[in-house]
Amino acid sequence: MNNDFSTVIAAMSVEEKVALLTGSGLWRTASMPQHGIPDIVMTDGTYGVRYSSAQIDGNEKWSMDDFISVITQTADQASADEPVAKGGSEALFSASLPATCFPNGSSLACSWDVELVREMGEALGRECQQMGVGILLGPGINIRRTPLAGRGYEYYSEDPVVSGDIAAALINGLQAEGVGASLKHFAANNSEYRRTEMDSIIEERALREIYLAGFQRAIAKSKPWTVMSSYNRLNGVQTSQDPFLLTQVLRDEWGYDGLVMSDWYGIKDRPASLLAGNDLAMPETRRDKQTLLAAISCGEVPMPVVDRACLRMLELVDKVQRHRRPHTRADFAAHHALSQRLAAESIVLLKNDDNLLPLKPHKTPRIAVIGKPAQEPVIQGSGCATTVPYLLDRPLDEIFDLAGDDFKVTWAPGAPDDNQSDEQALAQARDVAGAADVAVIFVSTAVGEDGENGDRQDLNILPAHEQLIREVAGVQPNVVVVLANSDAVVMPWLGECRALLETFFAGQGDGARCG
Q: Which residues are part of the catalytic machinery?
A: 263
Interaxial angle between packed helices 114-131 and 160-176, expressed in degrees from 0 to 180 and rounded to the nearest 10 = 40
DSSP state of 155: S
Query: Rounded to an integer, what distance in angstroms lies between the CA atom of residue 453 and that of residue 464?
Result: 26
Q: Are 103 and 387 in contact (CB under 8 A)?
A: no
Residue 487 CA neighbour count, 13 Å, CB half: 25
Cis status of the peptide bond prior to 429, with omega within 30 of 0: no
**Dist CA 338 CA 335 (whole Å):** 5
How far apart (Å, rounded) are the C-alpha atoms in residues 45 and 42? 10
Cα 121–Cα 375–Cα 493 angle in degrees, nearest 5: 95
Instruction: Tell me the backbone φ, ψ of residue 323, rounded to 5 degrees.
Output: -100, 5
Helix axes 160-176, 213-222, angle to 10 degrees: 30
Find all residues with CB under 8 Å of 160, minimum gap 6, and list them.
143, 209, 210, 211, 212, 213, 214, 217
